[in-house]
């Protein structure tokens, strides 16, 4: 019997479909994934790899360009992460960003030093030599800096391209080798011309044509799934989220009736969510859908539990029990599909050439045990969330599924603070539905990245009619973000907030007060538990 296989590098990765691929060597930057996303937005496939990948391995991977990310270390420290210096001799174009620029300049004869005039935030940059990298940009532009060190001196093999008031060498290029450096961060939105700079590097320097398209990825993924699965059956767990829905739709397009889906209705889903999933995957895709009604089982396991991590563990174990029991009823199933995304692969250390550090634990479909005996299919493991949404549109999934706001794995259990009961969950479900409905009615749903209600474990005094009340408080949380690594609270119009508050208090029995969360991430998280 085969076992659930660990995620490894994908032999059919999208970069191999076009012959265009760029590698990001990760030196611990908080922006490494953002760099990769920005490159992909230029229709060039990009992968994040270890900073110490050997030049020989990089030659095997045959990238058209290499980007050295930023990082928190100082290059002159003995313990600072370094790259194989031979990569600068491969003839492959290199772009160093912040720490990456300092590393390249030091490796090729320059000096890096700490400077009292540190730059954090916006800076005014003046271009002295546009060259290929800065071609077509305005002579003066705003950039985003984040550094305490800078290149203090370069060898005569480098020439400066730009400067700021406190950083005389803000951009450089090697006179003989295709090596460039930027002290500022072009990948963040705070550098308005950043996309054009990265586009120049990819197209003018590396010679990329920008051939990668999601339609091509979908066709190739379908072919790979058919080849891998053959006549066997695949099981896919549905959660109501976009990732599992896109996985199921993609596999259905590949093998049709050979797909079986399992939806564990644990009583912790949003209002009408289970019904929407059932309708979509029985009427539209006509899949073999197994719905496990497990509300009583989950609520009984959660009874009296209030500690967030304990809730998560209980829900995870209960999910495994339900999914495993149902999976065993499906005959001839050999494969298990899951919606692993590229950030999951990178952050779990599961990529063959990816960063070695494990940022977070990675679980296959909620931690399903290997003893189930399935081979793993992860068709989205090369994609970011925004790319998954584009793929969902390509596959014909309805907008309400493709653009549904993210939902935590433990469901409403981490938005229902305190004890979990059916009564409290139903109360939260109704309040949450009102929040989403009013934001959609105002045309703001796509403008907000996440919007939801939180039921607090406190009561407040109120007056309703002629009587005094002592009832629950609901907090409303709406955030804007591009990457979910940082987020800011949404400045919703007052009239929208007023309608949300009025409707919740009038329509949700047991609630007499609504609060609006105006905390950003960091220091707060998006979810409350």
**DSSP conformational letter for 492:** -
Catalytic residue among 20, 106, 119, 187: 187
Task: Report the DSSP beta bridge partners of residue 47.
Answer: 23
Q: In the chain, what is the greatest distance between 2 CA atoms, to the nearest angstrom? A: 84
Task: Report the DSSP beta bridge partners of residue 473.
Answer: 513
Whole-angstrom Cα distance, residue 31 to residue 230?
Answer: 40
Helices vs strands, H then E, count in the chain: 15, 18
Helices (DSSP H) in 203-307: which residue ranges? 214-229, 242-255, 273-279, 295-302
Instruction: Count Cα atoms within 13 angstroms, Cβ side, for 57.
Output: 13
Cis, peptide link before residue 522, omega less than 30° from 0: yes
Whole-angstrom Cα distance, residue 100 to residue 197?
Answer: 16
Task: Check if 119 is active-site.
Answer: no
Whole-angstrom Cα distance, residue 217 to residue 412?
Answer: 34
Task: Report the DSSP beta bridge partners of residue 221.
Answer: none
Whole-angstrom Cα distance, residue 244 to residue 234?
Answer: 13
First to last CA, the chain: 39
Three-state helix/strand/coil letters over 66-105: EEECCCCCCCCCCCCCCCCHHHHHCCCCEEEECHHHHHHH
Task: Check if 105 is active-site.
Answer: no
Catalytic residue among 46, 83, 98, 236: 98
Q: Which helix (H) or strand (E) holds 195?
A: helix 194-199
484: left (phi over 0), alpha (psi -120 to 50) or beta: left
Contact present, 268 and 360 (Cβ < 8 Å): no
Task: Report the DSSP beta bridge partners of residue 261.
Answer: 236, 289
Q: Which helix (H) or strand (E) holds 401?
A: helix 399-402
**DSSP conformational letter for 192:** T
Whole-angstrom Cα distance, residue 133 to residue 159?
Answer: 13
Three-state helix/strand/coil letters over 414-469: HCECCCCCHHHHHHHHHHHHHHHHHHHHCCCCCCCCEEEEEEEEEEEEEEECCEEE
Three-state helix/strand/coil letters over 109-140: CCEEEEEEEEEEEEEEEEECCCCCCCCCCCCE
98: left (phi over 0), alpha (psi -120 to 50) or beta: left
Task: Check if 437 is active-site.
Answer: no
How far is CA 189 from each of CA 29, 145, 196, 328, 436, rounded to the nearest angstrom? 16, 12, 12, 48, 28
User: Is 260 in a helix, a strand, or coil?
Assistant: strand
Residues acting as catalytic residues:
98, 185, 187
């Amino acid at each position: 019997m085969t076992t659930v296989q660990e995620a490894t590098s994908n032999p059919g990765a999208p970069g191999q479909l076009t012959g265009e691929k760029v590698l990001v060597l990760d030196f611990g930057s908080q922006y490494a994934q953002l760099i990769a996303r920005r490159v992909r937005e230029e229709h060039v496939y990009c992968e994040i790899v270890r900073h110490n990948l050997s030049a020989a391995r990089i030659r095997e991977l045959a990238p058209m360009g290499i980007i050295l990310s930023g990082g928190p270390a100082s290059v002159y420290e003995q313990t600072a992460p370094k790259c194989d210096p031979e990569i600068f001799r491969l003839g492959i174009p290199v772009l160093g960003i912040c720490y990456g620029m300092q590393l390249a300049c030091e490796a090729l004869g320059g000096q890096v030093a700490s400077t009292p005039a540190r730059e954090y935030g916006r800076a005014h940059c003046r271009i002295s030599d546009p060259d290929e990298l800065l071609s077509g940009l305005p002579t003066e532009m705003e950039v985003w800096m984040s550094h305490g060190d800078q290149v203090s001196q370069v060898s005569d093999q480098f020439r400066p391209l730009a400067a700021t008031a406190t950083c005389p060498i803000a951009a450089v290029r090697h006179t003989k080798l295709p090596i460039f450096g930027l002290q500022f961060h072009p990948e963040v939105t705070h550098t308005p011309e950043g996309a054009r700079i990265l586009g120049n590097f990819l197209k003018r320097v590396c010679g990329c044509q920008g051939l990668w398209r999601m339609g091509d990825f979908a066709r190739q993924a379908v072919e790979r799934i058919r080849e891998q699965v053959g006549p066997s059956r695949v099981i896919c767990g549905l959660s109501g989220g976009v990732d599992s829905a896109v996985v199921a739709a993609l596999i259905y397009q590949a093998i049709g009736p050979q797909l079986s889906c399992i939806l564990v209705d644990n009583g912790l889903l949003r209002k009408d969510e289970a019904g929407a999933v059932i309708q979509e995957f029985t009427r539209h895709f006509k899949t073999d859908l197994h719905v496990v009604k497990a509300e009583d089982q989950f609520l009984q396991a959660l009874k009296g539990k209030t500690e967030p991590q304990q809730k998560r563990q209980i829900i995870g174990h209960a999910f495994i029990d339900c999914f495993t029991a149902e999976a065993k009823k499906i005959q001839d199933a050999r494969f298990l599909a899951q919606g692993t995304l590229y950030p999951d692969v990178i952050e779990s250390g599961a990529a063959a050439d990816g960063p070695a550090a494990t940022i977070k634990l990675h679980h296959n479909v909620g931690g399903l045990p290997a003893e189930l005996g399935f081979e793993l299919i992860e068709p989205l493991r090369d994609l970011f969330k925004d790319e998954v949404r584009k793929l969902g549109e390509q596959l014909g999934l309805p907008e309400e599924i493709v653009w549904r706001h993210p939902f935590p794995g433990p469901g409403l259990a981490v938005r229902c603070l305190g004890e979990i009961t059916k009564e409290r969950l139903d109360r939260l479900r109704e309040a949450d539905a009102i929040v989403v409905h009013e934001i959609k009615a105002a045309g703001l749903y796509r403008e907000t990245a996440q919007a939801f209600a939180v039921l607090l474990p406190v009561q407040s005094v109120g007056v309703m009619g002629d009587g005094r009340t002592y009832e629950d408080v609901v907090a409303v949380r709406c955030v804007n973000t591009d990457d979910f690594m940082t987020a800011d609270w949404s400045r919703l119009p007052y009239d929208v907030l007023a309608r949300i508050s009025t409707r919740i208090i009038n329509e949700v029995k047991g609630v007499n007060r609504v609060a609006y969360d105006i905390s950003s991430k960091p220091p707060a998280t998006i979810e409350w538990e």
